[in-house]
Amino acid sequence: MQISAKICGLSTPETLDAAIDGGASHVGFVFYAPSPRTLSRDRAAQLAARVPAHVQRVGVFVDPDDALLDRAIAAGHLDVLQLHKTPAARSAAIKARTGLPLWSAVAVRTRADLAEAATYGGVADRILYDAKTPPGAALPGGMGVRFDWSLLEGFRHPLPWLLSGGLDPVNLREAVAMTGATLVDVSSGVESAPGIKDVTKIRAFLQAVNDL
């Protein structure tokens, strides 16, 4: 079974190049001002220009308005929109307006949380299962929090999906074995500090993916 990976929250040419050279299928650019990984339009354009055609550029948003989406799509030459905390009706409007594929994030702590995935049927192209962050957290993800992966065992997924939340080079094999994920997403697990990607950790994660 071929496993592919998205490296999310990239913000420098060096770390972007490490992700691409290591075989990442997707690279994530964050457009959410409170995040330490957020990109300006100029930086997004600079990075997007380095991405080859076989790697997809994913823009990461938290319930964005149309103006932000327009700026980010133009600057980042985005191929996919990843939406956090964006209800299905709003997501459908975004898809109709932009014509781009959507990944809708579902925050998971308990089995009951998985039911939200079905609300995106006919709207999202993929569900991103991420760990639910602690109450009062400023960010919806990228905090290194993982959920109980056994919750996905035997779950009938309503849509194609990917796994996120607390992944790193050490626990990747366990996560894939337990969930059957074929696409994995990492951010804080390849950082030396919040928002600071580490080239060595990116390479190690992608090597772990390739070794599966």
Instruction: List residues with catalytic annotation.
Output: 8, 130
Residues 6+ apart with CB under 8 A from 199: 14, 15, 18
Instruction: Report how far residue 21's alpha carbon sits from residue 55's, in angstroms, rounded to the nearest whole number.
Output: 11
Instruction: In whole angstroms, give the CA distance from residue 212 to residue 210.
Output: 6
Round to whole Å and give the CA distance between 17 and 97. 31
Single-letter code of the amino acid located at 117: A
Tell me the sheet residues that pair with 1.
Answer: none
CB atoms near residue 94 (< 10 Å): 22
Question: 152-164 b/e with 16+ CB inside 10 Å = b?
Answer: beeeeebbebbbb
Q: How far apart are CA 19 and CA 93, in angstroms?
A: 32
Residue 53 to residue 172: CA distance in whole angstroms: 27
